[in-house]
Structure 1
């Protein structure tokens, strides 16, 4: 017990000194639960030792892998516990801190904003402001909401004409998923600068509302204190933060979410308990019938999915959405060969109630809502090296164009029918 007290004291001193928490010797184990008791056991273990055992990829479905980060002090106990349950594991990441240290380039150049490195929320926001100055007839800065710590959820509106259907692009709702925010900024740049005629014909037919960081408090915290932080920063009784992608008011907390505040998937004290989700939902509602498409970006696992994350609710246009994601995944793979799994959320990954895209479809009535889990499949996990930002963004944008092309065709067909 003394070693745990000592570690907590060291962690507190480190944070007090302004140094981010370190993850030296933390390993990520890949485990495949073979029955529901295994699933329950892994979740109970993570709940009991939440400071030492952290899911990178949740244990929710039998025979589907879970990735679990374990502190050096807990590793022997963790492996012994698995062995007693007849569960096997493999080491997927040997040392998390080494991945953190290698995530960004050795020489960080901040002369101009780019995509060979990751950027803080303030740097991203400053770049968004610069776009409004550089493209005054096309780009408008917008505020989609606010955060618990008083930050704005800032984004841009990109519009090339009047009467276009609107697309919302949401990034960074889970704080530690840096590639999400980085890719979303790349998409902005590509929409503005691409000279490809086929790209221009699609992007100029839509209005875009794009938010690179919809959980700015959490994202900032991953830079200053804890690279592995996922949630918001609102304090609760025992722990801090809720999962903002389990907090939306559509079948809130029914399945795939936790009622325990220390859990990574804590759904919050009630639907829209987090100011980030509440204010963003109000902004989205204010777009009215113009809003036709919602695109959300996460990492990792290489998945492309559509609603719902519920075992008892199926989208009425599920067959159409399935065709769209299959075509989109082919477009994504055509550039670098990256393979994505596609399907509804509940079928492709697991049940997860209270997500933004489920709310967009179920509450706002959108027919086109999609979520990407970007690179990779676990070698780097949330710590994707910065030299993969551009290729990840390029291939993902190919898949976005495929989706928007299909939406464009569907909307035209609907208009002709009327």
Structure 2
């Protein structure tokens, strides 16, 4: 038995918790789920809030151990079709750390805590001065440094692609991908023709973790935390959903004005230090940034604008074709199937997202990735899937980058 630091990962908080998947049929089913959510503490995994549930869809949610019987009875009595995705969340969370890599420090095939990632940022920059430079773009609410890596061969007036990971704290596979991308960039530069060309002609701005405070909190206190860790007067509830905090139809749809909700849009657009730092950086580098890529999990989707409205972007046909080709490229490695399309119809309407905001700033190629899986593990994706997930996602990112290079504007 591998000794798992379960206490430190707070696995014990999740003993007996279940994750259900309910098939929602008609409007009455939607009403029933709303009823259930109003009487029980339910953590929605997908969609991320009860308000986003629509007819003829499925909904994944986590239930506290003491409520599982009540919830199960409610689903049965109302004849709601359902299955249990995870029978005991504690077991699955402990089993996340199944990597066979015996590393004490940083590993690309393990989930790394923030202090390890921060040390890695320094190390990878120091080891690859000809390909990587780093800068500080801001600090978090709790005072942590937001490091941004610039990956590419030095050159003047190079077009750039901005990519961020770790918006939502519990989506651990996301920061894992940003680290993987940087490693593959420096490892294959000068070896692999495509990566070499990309780094010669483009710069990649990589923000390894956006929501650092939240990420730290998922390692120390609550693995299922999603939001930032900011506080404000007038409420004891903590945190804002950083991906509802951008000035793009801010708080109009699919976001909440209640500070206690998982999709709380914040007191104003860019109220969070983290989102403001990201937005400030992009605004000041708009002339060079040609694509914006933001990495989330889970559900295996590639989304493009808009999410804050049912309108389509001006270059919808182009984005749709690019997304189609990209998910085909992604699937070529392990057969992983992604769906794609505009955010509002493909997943659900949600205002204040960074992808819509970046697009409205004039960045024509703006995409959100929802990485593995489709819900078998959800946010508890095991480390043994990091390699395959990152390998296939890298193919997708390289495909987009090549396309952008051929379609500069």
Same-fold call, TM > 0.5?
yes
- Report how far residue 135 of structure 1 moved: 1.4
List alignment gaps of at least 5 residues for structure 1: 1-13
Residue pairs, 1:145-164, within 5 angstroms:
145-160=138-153, 161-164=155-158
Matched with 1:93 is 86
In the TM superposition, what whole-angstrom CA distance separates every residue of 1:72-97 from its partner, at most 9, and x where no partner exists?
Answer: 21112212333454422111111111
Matched with 2:253 is 255
Query: Are 1:357 and 2:346 matched, yes or no?
Result: no
Q: Which moved more, 1:327-336 or 1:234-243?
A: 234-243
Matched with 2:65 is 72
**Cα gap change, 1:375/1:186 in structure 2, threshold over 3 Å: closer, same or farther?**
same
**Cα gap change, 1:290/1:97 in structure 2, threshold over 3 Å: closer, same or farther?**
same
Residue pairs, 1:3-18, within 5 angstroms:
none
Matched with 1:239 is 237
Q: Distance in 1 between the 2:64 and 2:131 partners?
A: 49
* 8 Å Cα contact 1:33-1:64 kept in structure 2: yes
Query: Are 1:168 and 2:153 matched, yes or no?
Result: no
Q: Distance in 2 between the 1:28 and 1:297 partners?
A: 23
**Cα gap change, 1:185/1:81 in structure 2, threshold over 3 Å: closer, same or farther?**
same
Q: Distance in 1 between the 2:298 and 2:146 partners?
A: 23
In the TM superposition, what whole-angstrom CA distance separates every residue of 1:190-226 from its partner, at most 9, and x where no partner exists?
Answer: 1111121122212322111101110000000000000
Query: Are 1:36 and 2:27 matched, yes or no?
Result: yes
* 8 Å Cα contact 2:294-2:355 kept in structure 1: yes
Q: Distance in 2 between the 1:218 and 1:319 partners?
A: 36
Query: Are 1:177 and 2:175 matched, yes or no?
Result: no
Q: Distance in 2 between the 1:325 and 1:286 partners?
A: 27
Q: Which moved more, 1:244-253 or 1:308-317?
A: 308-317
Q: Distance in 2 between the 1:132 and 1:232 partners?
A: 27
Query: Are 1:54 and 2:39 matched, yes or no?
Result: no
**Cα gap change, 1:383/1:73 in structure 2, threshold over 3 Å: closer, same or farther?**
same
- Report how far residue 107 of structure 1 moved: 7.0
Query: Are 1:305 and 2:294 matched, yes or no?
Result: no
In the TM superposition, what whole-angstrom CA distance separates every residue of 1:139-193 from its partner, at most 9, and x where no partner exists?
Answer: 1112232211111221211131222111111100000000000011000111111
Of 279, 287, 290, which aligns to 2:288? 290
SS of 1:373 mapped into structure 2: strand
In the TM superposition, what whole-angstrom CA distance separates every residue of 1:49-69 from its partner, at most 9, and x where no partner exists?
Answer: 3xx311111252221111011
In the TM superposition, what whole-angstrom CA distance separates every residue of 1:76-121 from its partner, at most 9, and x where no partner exists?
Answer: 2212333454422111111111111110137774455222211011
Q: Distance in 1 between the 2:280 and 2:370 partners?
A: 25
* 8 Å Cα contact 1:115-1:386 kept in structure 2: no
Matched with 2:218 is 222
Query: Are 1:392 and 2:389 matched, yes or no?
Result: yes
Matched with 1:211 is 207
SS of 2:186 mapped into structure 1: helix
Of 177, 198, 201, which aligns to 2:197? 201
In the TM superposition, what whole-angstrom CA distance separates every residue of 1:334-366 from its partner, at most 9, and x where no partner exists?
Answer: 00100000111112111011011111011x111
Q: Distance in 1 between the 2:91 and 2:199 partners?
A: 39
Q: Distance in 1 between the 2:236 and 2:79 partners?
A: 33
Of 111, 114, 119, which aligns to 1:118? 111
SS of 2:83 mapped into structure 1: strand
* 8 Å Cα contact 1:20-1:223 kept in structure 2: no
SS of 1:142 mapped into structure 2: strand
TM-score by length of structure 1 reads 0.90
Q: Distance in 2 between the 1:47 and 1:238 partners?
A: 20
Query: Are 1:191 and 2:185 matched, yes or no?
Result: yes
- Report how far residue 34 of structure 1 moved: 1.6
Q: Distance in 2 between the 1:385 and 1:81 partners?
A: 31
**Cα gap change, 1:157/1:346 in structure 2, threshold over 3 Å: closer, same or farther?**
same
SS of 1:150 mapped into structure 2: coil
Q: Which moved more, 1:301-310 or 1:52-61?
A: 52-61
Q: Which moved more, 1:255-264 or 1:365-374?
A: 255-264
Query: Are 1:270 and 2:268 matched, yes or no?
Result: yes
Q: Which moved more, 1:320-329 or 1:279-288?
A: 279-288
Matched with 2:3 is none
Matched with 2:14 is 23
Count, aligned residues: 395
Q: Distance in 2 between the 1:89 and 1:262 partners?
A: 27
TM-score by length of structure 2 reads 0.92
Query: Are 1:63 and 2:42 matched, yes or no?
Result: no
